[in-house]
Structure 1
Amino acid sequence: MDPATSTATLQDDSEPSSTWGWWPSWRPTSAAILKSSEAKILARIQNDMWARYVTLPSQEHIWTLTLTSKSAPKPKQQAPTKTPLVMVHGFGAGVGLWLRNLDPLSHSRPLHAFDLLGFGRSSRPAFPGDAAQAEDHFVSSIEQWRQSLGLEDMILLGHSLGGYLATSYAIRYPARVKHLILVEPWGFPDRAQSLAAEAQGTEVVKRPPLPLWLKAAVAVLGFFNPLAVMRAAGPWGPGLVSRFRQDFKIKFEDLFDDDTMTNYIYHCNAQTPSGEVGYWAMMEGLAWAKRPMMQRVDQLPASLPVSMLYGDRSWISSSSGHEAARIRGKAYTRVALINNASHHVNNDQPVVFNEMVEEICNSVD
């Protein structure tokens, strides 16, 4: 069935047998619990949605949502399909955290959102320990996913780690990207250059202080995967996430009056680490990348328009965007700041965020 013309909500979500293993009872999680937790969130979706696994040539599976508007033209009145919007989440997240954006952004064009390889409900393969190889594993899986879906091109939007990977993808496969939208992209500044400039008082890319929970993670987990403590906490893990990520409960309190969102985050990340291992291989000090994207942003084609969206309260500074624009010279690079928003700008200011993304998409077609 063509997802662009479907009038029913389809849910082909049987778990691939090779995706999940056996989980010790010490950690109160499982594939089934994560599936149930996500289903409670996705039940809020109003538009037509097709949720299924996309199998890659490697036999790895990418959990994917495809949304179209209920008012979209049906087969007998089919209008030219607009360029689809593809959304790539950040570290430790999954498709459920796009809840406030999925319906609004799928009204005028097809929308695809997927769990990155190694995160959420997607397969959890072993990632290389080398930064370049880990990045290549992520980017190659995105390209294989695109090929499996038969997408010719896309508007590619990435948040945080997803922004880093989306940029890497656009450098390697520029013909597939009509507009690159980077939301709070991680891994852009060059740590050595930024620290040297800061010491001299001439810093180009300023980085605001990290939030306390992130500072604690950096101090405690310097030699471990970033979410190791959450898994080591066993039955106390869900409470730990609920306590330290109360902000997510607040962001969605008008939709859920319980721990739905923090439980989802816990179950996304309490599984055996995989994408997290890939991230650990690429990161330097949690907030920095070993291979800073600022060193490669000039490899984006001048013909590819780039929009960079930041929250004014985020620990990631918009000055990275301005530096990227300077490097790209006359190539279209828009940097926009959204007021009263933190790192998760799409959930802090969803109306403003959705309007800005819709405007960008409409500039494509």
Structure 2
Amino acid sequence: MFVCSRDIQCIKNRFSAGYVSLQDQNKIWTLTVSPELRDKTPLVMVHGFGGGIGLWIQNIDRLSSRRTLHAFDLLGFGRSSRPTFPSDPEAAEDQFVSSIEQWREEMGIKDMILLGHSLGGFLAASYSIKYPQRVKHLILVDPWGFPTLPTDPNEMRSPPAWVKAIAAVLGRSNPLAVVRAAGPWGPRLVQRFRPDLKRKFEEFFEDDTIMEYIYHCNAQTPSGESAFKTMMERFGWAKRPMLLRFNLIPKTLPITFIYGAETWIDRNTGEKAKQLRPDSYVHTLAIKGASHHVYADQPGIFNEVVEEICDAVD
């Protein structure tokens, strides 16, 4: 499988990368940065749909300057194992959450600051419902799958053009089937659907490195992708909306929502979460000049915000 070695070469802080074997025999590709900074709660970062640890390249050094940082490829994505997920949405979600907990046990992490983006935010929230004692602060970055599907079409936020294009091409196929079908032309297809992604990382890569990385993250067996399809109602909504069970997270666990001010995700979710947790810390903020990929659109501001949250923990 393609390894985006140039991503790792860009990291300045001390790091290690390798597989963590789980009890169920699956393996999770893991990056650990600044392992020597053990006096503070580690930050664990969970990527979104179709991504991998390489997409955090603009955030890793800054966010690991004062504490250990762990980032991993979700089960079924990137370089991690690609098992068959259940066809039931609740069971598929549980398998993701179980893999995160097994990973935590194998890593020997007592507790953590848990940050998840998009699908990773959905799974981080689900993990926090089941294992709240392991999370000191939950950071949800443009989280997917929180609101219920509106019955009134006028209430739906319009998804970006690339989402509409993929939906039109694919029909009932897995979301990224067209990328795999393109074979060696896959990176060009990624570029066609998402020309914005190359611009987001141009400070690090002037060539097509990031496009090739995203392609190879999704060119393998569509394991996590199939699980995502099982869990989604439409591309923007979940069959089991997180807001309907968000109150199951203990009120003692502080939560921060970080949105891009121009995101296609419903930003009202954060405010609704506040209403569901009136006696708990729930903070919502939007970063100007950023869309769904907040961490890449405005990495400097994003890093500053997350670092401030982390410093408030310890």
1:237 to 171, 180, 186: 186
Deviations 1:91-143 (A, max 9, x none): 00000000011000001010000000000000011111110010001000000
Pair 1:176 & 2:134 matched:
yes
Partner residue in 2 for 1:42 = 8
| 1:268 alignment counterpart | 217
Measure how far apart 1:325 and its partner are.
Answer: 1.1
**Cα deviation, residue 62, structure 1:** 0.2
CA–CA distance in structure 1, aligned partners of residues 279 and 141 of structure 2: 21
Match of 1:346 in 2: 295
Displacement of 1:317 after TM fit?
2.2
TM-score by length of 1: 0.84
Aligned to 1:298: 247
Normalised TM-score (structure 2): 0.97
Find the aligned partners of 2:301 and 2:184 in 1 and give their Cα distance: 38
Q: Aligned match of 2:146 in 183, 188, 192?
A: 188
CA contact (8 A) 1:88 1:159 kept: yes
In structure 1, the residue matched to 2:99 is: 141
Instruction: Name the stretch that deviates more: 326-335 or 235-244.
Output: 235-244
Please state if 1:107 is matched with 2:65. yes
Per-residue CA deviation, residues 298-342 of structure 1 (Å, 9 max, x unaligned), is: 111000000000001110121111111111112110000100001
2:151 & 2:211 partners in 1: Cα distance? 34
Structure 2: distance between partners of 1:156 and 1:57: 22
1:119 equivalent in alignment to 2:77: yes
Structure 2: which 5+ runs fail to align? none
What is the DSSP-based 3-state SS (H/G/I as helix, E as strand, rest coil) of the residue aligned with 2:58? helix
CA distance in 2, matches of 1:185, 1:260: 26
1:82 aligns with 2:48: no
Q: What is the CA-CA distance between 1:219 and the residue it aligns to?
A: 2.9
The answer for unaligned runs of 5 or more in structure 1 is 1-30, 74-79, 200-205
The offset of 1:213, in angstroms, is 1.0
1:162 corresponds to which of 120, 123, 139: 120
> How far apart are the structure 2 equivalents of 1:230 and 1:249?
17
Give the CA RMSD over aligned residues. Answer: 1.3
Shift in alpha-carbon separation, 1:131–1:195, aligned structure 2, 3 A = same
Cα distance in structure 2, aligned partners of 1:114 and 1:254: 23
Q: Does 1:225 align with 2:191?
A: no
Q: Distance in 1 between matches of 2:148 and 2:170?
A: 22
Which residue number in structure 2 is paired with residue 5 of structure 1? Answer: none
Provide the secondary structure at the position in 2 that maps to 1:65: strand
Instruction: Provide the aligned length of Structure 1 versus Structure 2.
Output: 314
Is residue 306 of structure 2 the alignment partner of residue 357 of structure 1? Answer: yes
CA distance in 1 between partners of 2:268 and 2:142 (Å)? 11
Aligned partner of residue 303 in structure 1, secondary structure: coil
- Give yes or no for contact 1:65–1:113 (8 Å, CA) kept in 2: yes
CA distance in 2, matches of 1:298, 1:220: 38
One-letter code aligned to 2:223:
S
**Matched residues in 1 for 2:145 and 2:205: separation?**
32
Q: Which amino acid aligns with 1:358?
A: E
Q: Given that residues 310 and 317 in structure 1 are in contact (C-alpha distance below 8 angstroms), is that contact kept between their aligned partners in structure 2?
A: no
Distance 1:152 1:185 in 2: 25
Aligned to 1:282: 231
SS at match of 2:39: coil
Which letter maps to 1:52?
Answer: G
CA contact (8 A) 1:208 1:314 kept: no
| Alpha-carbon shift at residue 207 of structure 1 (Å) | 4.6
| Secondary structure at 1:122 match in 2 | coil
DSSP 3-state at the match of 1:322: helix
The 3-state SS of whatever aligns with 2:59 is helix
Q: Is 1:105–1:354's contact at 8 Å kept on the other side of the alignment?
A: yes
Which structure: larger Rg? 1
Aligned-partner Cα distance in 1 for 2:278–2:240: 22
CA contact (8 A) 1:242 1:263 kept: no
Q: 1:67 to 1:290 in 2, by over 3 A?
A: same
Using the alignment, how far apart are the partners of 2:33 and 2:55 within structure 1? 15
Q: Partner of 1:170: helix, strand, or coil?
A: helix
SS of match in other structure, 1:363: helix
The answer as to whether partners of 1:158 and 1:181 remain within 8 angstroms in 2 is yes
d(CA) in 1 for partners of 2:42, 2:202: 30
User: How does 1:2-17 map onto structure 2 within 5 Å?
Assistant: none
Tell me how far apart the structure 2 counterparts of residues 91 and 292 of structure 1 sit (CA, whole Å): 16
